[in-house]
Structure 1
């Protein structure tokens, strides 16, 4: 749990969430990272996007202050230039057609917005032995 909290803090720093107004968390799962970012940046408008409706329902019970969107990474139901930040935290490796996600994100981001993708990568020949972050 501490590792996830530390990772969320690091991503929040890299994404410069302190200066952001609207964050889209794509592949949000149960929305624990978004809840942490909400706690650290109370005025941040957060939209959690997840294809798994059951996970969104669980998130809805835990956190009522975020927008929860049941959608795919390549069909983000958001207006063009409507977000300052888009984060895919340990979810982009599951996206089909990652290029389409990046293309759609470019449309949704405001000029000078940031797209942050964090995914586990294998750093040694033995799979799952040691993971790193692809920067």
Structure 2
């Protein structure tokens, strides 16, 4: 196992990412109540009535639970890393509900890491070997070769600049037989016209906050990196209708977030859980 401690330069952070996760602090926006900063998994929740803030937080937790179930950590044994950990709430859930032996949260944004360390100060002080945060990019992970049994990322891959580098790094830091689970929204195919259409409908794509990554690009990159059993499950039906229904009861400063549902229904994007494993030999 070799140590790998790259420097993360501030210029590696896209300007829109720097702003939204820095001064704007997306975790404080009502649409992302609870601090998990994801669109949520609303499966099993009724959309016949207005959705509450408590429902919103539950949806965000449920998305993490879906990913962690797909990851299947071994209680008391699995060492996991989360790429794009944000405030670290998902890591705490992985420790508390799924029994991971240890979780490392990696994020490129220094202000997010500062918030994460403040939010989990007690846990970090009590057992720093079980829960830690480090600064790094998805394309250059500050982790040793084969350091982790499990790698996961929840709604961060739309910000990654280079999916090929992310796939290569994921394969490097996973031990043999280690597993990966990634969830985010992607363009379902490689049609370049869809990227332009997304930029016209959604400000997050127009500003470069979100990247219109085609799903096949990530799947091919994972296979090329040597990972096996690569598959993608569409869960858009459990994400976009519920999120849009919740937004109907939120006072939004701009209306464009509600265009996500239309973009999904028109086939411009979808939400996926992607899984893979590193071969044992």
Task: Give me the TM-score of the superposition, normalised by structure 2.
Answer: 0.44
**For 1:44, which of 98, 101, 105 is the aligned residue?**
101
Distance 2:165 2:100 in 1: 30
Greater helix proportion: 2
Q: How many residues align?
A: 134
For 1:41 and 1:67, how far apart are their aligned partners in 2? 17
CA distance in 1 between counterparts of 2:171 and 2:94 reads 22
Selected match of 1:128 from 243, 248, 260: 260
In the other structure, the counterpart of 2:116 is 59
CA contact (8 A) 2:74 2:100 kept: no
Question: In the alignment, what sits opposite 2:159?
Answer: 94
The one-character-per-residue Cα deviations of 1:76-134 (angstroms, maximum 9, x if unpaired) are 111111101111111011101111011011011000111111002468x9751145325
User: Could you tell me which residue of structure 2 aligns to residue 118 of structure 1?
Assistant: 183
Stretch deviating more after TM superposition (18-27 or 46-55): 18-27
Counterpart of 2:148 in structure 1 is 83
Cα contact 2:139–2:165 (8 A) shared by 1: yes
TM-score normalised by the chain length of structure 1: 0.88
Q: How many Å separate the matches in 2 of 1:49 and 1:22? A: 14
**Cross-structure match for 1:15:** 71
Instruction: For residue 41 of structure 1, report the CA deviation from its aligned partner.
Output: 3.3
Q: Please, which runs of 5 or more residues in structure 2 have no aligned partner?
A: 1-56, 189-196, 202-258, 265-269, 275-281
Does 2:139 align with 1:74? yes
Q: Distance in 1 between matches of 2:64 and 2:162?
A: 25
When you count strand as a share of all residues, which structure comes out higher? 1
Give secondary structure in 1 for the equivalent of 2:176. Answer: strand
SS in 1 for 2:260: coil
Q: Which runs of 5+ in 1 are unaligned?
A: none
Q: Distance in 1 between the 2:80 and 2:155 partners?
A: 16
Question: Match of 1:4?
Answer: 60
Residues 134, 9 of structure 1: alpha-carbon distance in 2 compared, 3 angstrom cutoff: closer
Contact 1:22 1:83 in 2 (8 A): yes
Judge conservation of contact 2:67–2:273 (CA < 8 Å) in 1.
Answer: no
